[in-house]
Structure 1
Amino acid sequence: MNTSSPSIPADVAAHVLWSEGLGGYPAGSFTTKLLDAWASADNANAARLAVGWPEYAAAFALMQQPGGVAQLRSIASRQVTA
């Protein structure tokens, strides 16, 4: 992630982890549906979602980086902020 990426709140990290079956905790019904849509989106539609929900985009991007899942878990447990 670069320095211009939005910060990732603990709840966002937890929701993204949960949506991928990697821990965290579930979101509310709207956010759960949003994350389901994100999971099935192609790159163009994922980019559109990122405009409205940049924190979730940052969390998904972090998850793809080496050590990203561990960082998201740390954020979700409120040990660090990204």
Structure 2
Amino acid sequence: MSTVLQTPQALFDEKGNHLLLVRKDEYEALLERVRAYEEQEDEEDWQLYQEGKEEPFTAEPLSVVLKRVKEYREKNGIK
């Protein structure tokens, strides 16, 4: 879908809030883009979830991780 969007008309309500007026077809085109993006993200999340189920990782205690981080930092001169 290749809709050319026009510059929206700027309006202000009685409280001074800034509003933008767009045509209905442009609004629907924007909504469709958002829906397509969200569907793509959902599909990517699902694929990552499935991959995670196939290759589960082993968890280590925090103390082990922190010890490894400390050793790495000392070895590489990181303070």
Structure with the larger RCO, 1 or 2 (CA within 8 Å, 6+ apart)? 1
- Asked if these proteins are the same fold (TM beyond 0.5), I'd say no
**Into which bin does the TM-score normalised by the smaller protein fall?**
under 0.3
* Bigger Rg over Cα: 2
More helix by share: 1
Normalised to the residue count of structure 2, the TM-score between the two structures is 0.27
More strand by share: 2
